[in-house]
Structure 1
């Protein structure tokens, strides 16, 4: 059994929409590995929380968000160990009409990044890779605000997002009978 190396052995690569299709199976495997509590949950597939749903989601986002769609991937020794993807979007698209009025005005008026997925394979978690992937997305997209959805029971993911400065903005459902997520919001600090 090999032991994961230090974070200096990790390389982050950035991909545009035309480069994503060949990576979908690999990122789906990483997502499943990082979320066994979802994959093994009865009803997860009907809630859109499955490997086939993830593949469909990624490819759908690539098709519909060509402008600014960015995928970042972490590699060590040539193998992908984590990924994240996001795209610039309008507050109306991201928050929906029901939640939009509850979002602070500056977030509704600023450049928004919708962070769709961020996953690191368990053997490489707690090594700063998620933080580095997040930073790479912010650098590539340059938003004023970032938002994401996280399952309330995803304590490790929520811990990372709390450390990154995300704050709870409200409950969110993709569909009326779908699972409830926590919608998180981050005001991105300017590095200029």
Structure 2
């Protein structure tokens, strides 16, 4: 394996990185028909990153090897009401529901040929270090997928079903108490 470097980026860097991030995401999700059926597309990812980069506390971490991005993850600091929504908030554990220290991790993707080498775990660790909140949460496709197995190994616990909109897919909302 070549030398891997993790670099933090802020909101101002996203426009220059969008093409590479979209390429990584598309490769990481090749063959995942459930993702496409749920309406998650490279174009939607571009809009999502651009919108999320407007949030205060936005952090993007990219893994670089062989002169290119081989993985990335990003998130931002937010309120429980913003992240969980009014419908789900009452079912969230009280300490997470009332916290003033929460971040949402929105994406974690690694190119297919680079998966299984600890890059996802490294990106996650660097995101937690950059965000430094007591709680982090993310959404995952339901089922026994490699991503879900990673999140389970990282210590995430299922917090409930989460629908992205009235007609959107039902995702698994996962929650992690961090060491911070």
Residue matched to 1:13: 7
Secondary structure of 1:13 counterpart: strand
Between the two proteins, the alignment pairs up a number of residues equal to 179
1:99 corresponds, among 82, 88, 97, to: 88
After superposition, the Cα gap between the structure-2 partners of 1:43 and 1:28, relative to the gap in structure 1 and judged at 3 Å, is: closer
Q: Which runs of 5+ in 2 are unaligned?
A: none
Residue matched to 1:55: 46
Deviation at residue 154 of structure 1 after TM alignment: 6.0
Q: Deviations over 1:125-146 (max 9, x none)?
A: 0111001100111111101001
1:33 corresponds, among 6, 27, 38, to: 27
Q: Which runs of 5+ in 1 are unaligned?
A: none
1:121 corresponds, among 95, 111, 118, to: 111
Q: TM-score under structure 2 normalisation?
A: 0.94
Secondary structure of 2:159 counterpart: strand
Secondary structure of 1:20 counterpart: helix
Deviation at residue 42 of structure 1 after TM alignment: 9.3
Q: How many Å separate the matches in 2 of 1:135 and 1:43?
A: 28
RMSD after superposition = 1.5
1:139 corresponds, among 124, 129, 136, to: 129
Q: TM-score under structure 1 normalisation?
A: 0.89
Structure 1 segments, 4+ long, off by >2 Å, are 40-44
Deviation at residue 41 of structure 1 after TM alignment: 5.8
Q: How many Å separate the matches in 1 of 2:4 and 2:57?
A: 24
Secondary structure of 1:176 counterpart: coil
Deviation at residue 37 of structure 1 after TM alignment: 3.3
Q: How many Å separate the matches in 2 of 1:23 and 1:154?
A: 30
After superposition, the Cα gap between the structure-2 partners of 1:59 and 1:43, relative to the gap in structure 1 and judged at 3 Å, is: same
1:185 corresponds, among 161, 175, 178, to: 175
Secondary structure of 1:126 counterpart: coil
